[in-house]
Amino acid sequence: MNLKLIVIFLLMLCLGSFALAETNTVNKDSTAVDSIAPPAPVTMFKAFDTPNDHGHSITLNWQLSADDGAGQNSVLQYQIYRWVPYLMDSLTTLRKAMTTVKEEEIKRGHEKVLKKEMRSLKKEYNAVLKELPSAHKAYPNNGYWKEVGKVPAGTKSYKNTGSKEKESQDYLPDLTDFYYRVDAVTKDSTVRASSKVFGPVQCSGQWFNTGRIPVLVAVILFTFLTIYFVEKAKNGAKLYVRPLSGIEAVDDAIGRATEMGRPILYILGLGSVADIATIASFTILSRVAKQVAEYQTELLVPTYDPLVMAVAQEVVKSAYLDAGRPDDYKEDTVHFVTQSQFAYVAAVNGIMLRELPATNIYMGVFFAESLILAETGALAGSIQIAGTDQIAQIPFFIVACDYTLIGEELYAASAYLGREPLLLGSLKAQDYAKALVIILAIIGLIMSNFGWTQFTDLFKVAN
């Protein structure tokens, strides 16, 4: 009985093996049926230096393979290859060696042996770098094709952008002969079609970015307007600037402080000395300081930036001199606090509650501290006037201050107070530039509604 069972089992095993072998044969045949024919290669392939950049980049263009979206529709992607000499591998090896030495330096400190080793590696690396252009000229000898990128089917261009850093692994040297090819690849990556090789092509940086010509035109136009109005103001022409309630309140606020015998707190914000809002704030500070000197009121200017402090000291000193009271100027009127945002706020809040200034003036660049400062000032019962060009902070000043200069009103305020031809002329030029923008925008709107987008394109500036 057992013997019979064993024989049946063996027979079934044999039959199973035969069936499996048969299935495999069928599968092999089906693979043969699904085999892909090589696709057509891309055509009109060309490579050129990427325009309007700092170099280290080559742009490649081509026409799609006939089997991309048509024909056999078998192309899945395009792989981009650049011919690289074996010398590039030497660079990779040297780079790895330098990284190892750097890691050792971190572990062991700056030992002389390591420094010497690093210096010798760098020397060798630089020597290899110098050889790169001639090594590329040796194409197609002593090198190989390296994949530098891939794009999906339907794409007609690729930008091979490398690094400008010589020690980077993506370093793409300028003024070196490169050779490229593009492969149309099917789902079976071994089935592909290579384009003709394009080269030599070199990359280099450009001095002028022609994509920014519209900006150049706008700058020239604006400069012309500014010079025209400055000259007009210098020649004594009366240039009208509409009154700003916030700035007219400054005089009253200074008077109030004098009557109450309390100081005036002037905050220049967290901006740097080169920020436009900070520069505008200096003009307003000058005016405030002059009046303060005349009325012999106390002025407090705690600053966040050391350079802003230096300029503010000069401004206040000059204002006291203009007011004919240079002896009343105190060095600590303008003082540095700290360059940490919230530590500065903590200190200014302390000043507000201890010194109880009659007036707080916030003019300049402000960030998250705006509401904290303005709220504390309101709690201390001070009259508050604020002005900033930071859109996100204006709402807080509007809520917590008595008067707020919104955005450009701050710049206008400096011209309004200063009444200097340079500032007035610049403000007038800005106004006329705005009028020009409105006119151009209306023209553009009409044209774009009729589908003519060429005009809009003039304002799209390349990076």
Partner 1 sequence: MGFWGQFGVWLAALLTIGIISFLYKDNFLYKACEAIFVGISAGYWFIVYYWDNLYKKFYLQVTNHDLTSWERIIPWVGFILGVMMLSRLFEKIGWLSRWPLAFIVGATAGLYMMIYFVSNAMAQVASTIIPVFIGDWATIIANFFIVAGTFCGLVYFFFSKEHKGAFGLASRVGIWFLMITFGASFGYTVMSRMSLMIGRLDFLFGTWLGMIK
Binding residues (CB under 8 A) for partner 1: these are 119, 122, 126, 212, 214-215, 218-219, 239-242, 272-274, 276, 279, 307, 310-311, 314, 337-340, 342-344, 346-347, 349-350, 353-354, 371, 391-392, 394-396, 398-399, 406-409, 412, 427-428, 431-435, 437-438, 440-441, 444-445, 447-449, 451, 455-456, 459-461
Residue 320: strand, helix, or coil: helix
| One-letter amino acid of 20 | L
What's the min distance (Å) between Cβ of 91 and partner 1?
Answer: 16
Neighbours of 149 (CB within 10 A): 15
Q: Closer CB to partner 1, residue 178 or residue 411?
A: 411
Positive or negative CA dihedral for 196, 199, 205, 206?
A: negative
Integer Cα distance of 407 and 72 in angstroms: 61
Residue 279: strand, helix, or coil: helix
What's the min distance (Å) between Cβ of 166 and partner 1?
Answer: 11
What's the min distance (Å) between Cβ of 253 and partner 1?
Answer: 22
What's the min distance (Å) between Cβ of 129 and partner 1?
Answer: 12
What's the min distance (Å) between Cβ of 39 and partner 1?
Answer: 40
CA 336 to each of CA 181, 267, 312, 331, 419: distance values in angstroms, whole numbers, following the listed order? 61, 12, 11, 11, 30
Q: Closer CB to partner 1, residue 202 or residue 430?
A: 430
What's the min distance (Å) between Cβ of 455 and partner 1?
Answer: 7
Q: Closer CB to partner 1, residue 191 or residue 433?
A: 433
Secondary structure of 111-175 in the HEC alphabet? CHHHHHHHHHHHHHHHHHHHHHHHHHHCCCCCEEEEEEEEEECCCCEEEEECECCCCCCCECCCC
Q: Closer CB to partner 1, residue 36 or residue 337?
A: 337
What's the min distance (Å) between Cβ of 268 and partner 1?
Answer: 14
Q: Closer CB to partner 1, residue 295 or residue 336?
A: 336
Q: Closer CB to partner 1, residue 328 or residue 431?
A: 431
Q: Closer CB to partner 1, residue 8 or residue 399?
A: 399
What's the min distance (Å) between Cβ of 248 and partner 1?
Answer: 14
CA atoms within 13 A on the CB side of 48: 9
Peptide bond into 51 cis (omega under 30): no
Q: Closer CB to partner 1, residue 70 or residue 343?
A: 343
Q: Closer CB to partner 1, residue 65 or residue 226?
A: 226
Residue 367: strand, helix, or coil: coil
| One-letter amino acid of 428 | K
Integer Cα distance of 362 and 427 in angstroms: 21
What's the min distance (Å) between Cβ of 351 and partner 1?
Answer: 10
Q: Closer CB to partner 1, residue 28 or residue 434?
A: 434
Integer Cα distance of 229 and 237 in angstroms: 9
CA nearest neighbour of 134 among 71, 195, 87: 87
> Do 49 and 160 contact (CB within 8 A), yes or no?
no
What's the min distance (Å) between Cβ of 295 and partner 1?
Answer: 28
Q: Closer CB to partner 1, residue 251 or residue 314?
A: 314
How far does the chain reach from its first CA to its final CA, in angstroms?
Answer: 89
Phi/psi-derived region of residue 236, left when phi > 0, alpha when psi is between -120 and 50, beta in every other case: left
b/e burial code for range 410-437 (CB count within 10 A of at least 16 → b): bbbbbbbbbeebebbbbbbbbbbeeeee
CB burial of residue 352 (10 Å; 0-12, 13-18, 19+): buried
Phi, psi (rounded to 5 degrees) for 85? -75, 155
What's the min distance (Å) between Cβ of 266 and partner 1?
Answer: 19
Integer Cα distance of 154 and 159 in angstroms: 15
